[in-house]
Amino acid sequence: MIFTVGNGKGGVGKSTCALQLALGLAIEGSRVWLIDGDRQLTVLNAITARADTGRQMIAASAYAEGKVLRTQVNEQRENYDHVVIDAGGRDSTALRGALAVSDAVLIPFRPRSFDTWALADIAALVEEARAERDIRAFAFLNMADSQGSDNKEAAEAIADYPGIQLLDVRVGDRKAFANASGNGLHVEEMEKRDQKACLEIERLRNALFDAMSVSY
């Protein structure tokens, strides 16, 4: 499967989610290609840091230009079981190119009003991409609060976008994700494992693949 982790708004945890999902799939034995479509190169720098840990490496590339990203994915996709694309936090050519070649887009958003409003932008981009490709769109609450009404209100906001399916999973705002990703590691690989973080990223992966297995 080819999927993009994308949102037109920055600071919602796209790079962390893309890295954690890609590494998790690779650890389980899949051939994974992780693509950094953000000029900040957050994901690629994390994979570079991973080389110093002695852990199993995964294929990683950076394509900030949408045309190049699209061409490279179309040419090399058959070499991998999964392609995970981290698209930049704005309406970029890389994000548009990624959507044009993806089977699904995974949209992390934070339970805050400005983040839920930003769903309109990514929803519009997904609809444009659907003119070329039958792409599925899934959103999930990232950096979610442990309590309060924000989570409920954010989930209700998804109802305004029938082209996006809300996954029944929440990923918390945990230091374990930042600490692991900064070292190019999956949360499962940390010496001091945060069991809740491990379970949340596993649930996210399972929810995505389960949703993709259902026809619509």
DSSP string, 153-213: HHHHHGGG-TTSEEEEEEEE--HHHHHHHHTT--GGGSSS--HHHHHHHHHHHHHHHHHHT
pLDDT score recorded for residue 186: 98
pLDDT score recorded for residue 160: 85
Comparing 159 with 98, the larger pLDDT belongs to 98
Q: Choose among 169, 13, 4, 170: nearest CA to 83.
A: 4
pLDDT digits (tens, 9 = 90+) for 99-149: 999 999 999 988 766 667 778 889 999 999 999 899 999 999 888 776 666
pLDDT score recorded for residue 148: 60
pLDDT score recorded for residue 118: 75
Task: Determine the average pLDDT of the residues in 150-179.
Answer: 86
Neighbours of 113 (CB within 10 A): 12
Q: What residue has token string 């949102």?
A: 7
List, edge to edge, every strand of the sheet that includes 2-5: 59-62, 32-37, 82-87, 2-5, 104-109, 136-144, 165-172
- 216: pLDDT confidence band, cut at 50, 70 and 90? low
How many domains does the chain fold into? 1
The per-residue pLDDT of the chain, averaged, comes to: 91
Neighbours of 142 (CB within 10 A): 27
Query: Is a pLDDT exceeding 80 seen at residue 178?
Result: yes
Token digits of residue 117: 């409003």
pLDDT score recorded for residue 214: 86
161: domain CATH number is 3.40.50.300
Token digits of residue 70: 């699209």
pLDDT score recorded for residue 12: 83
Predicted TM-score of the model (pTM): 0.93
Domain that holds residue 45: 2-212
Whether the CB-CB separation of 81 and 45 falls below 8 Å is answered with no
Range from 32-36, 93-97, 158-162, 166-170 carrying the lowest mean pLDDT: 158-162
pLDDT score recorded for residue 204: 97
pLDDT digits (tens, 9 = 90+) for 34-69: 999 998 899 999 999 999 999 999 999 999 999 999
pLDDT score recorded for residue 32: 98
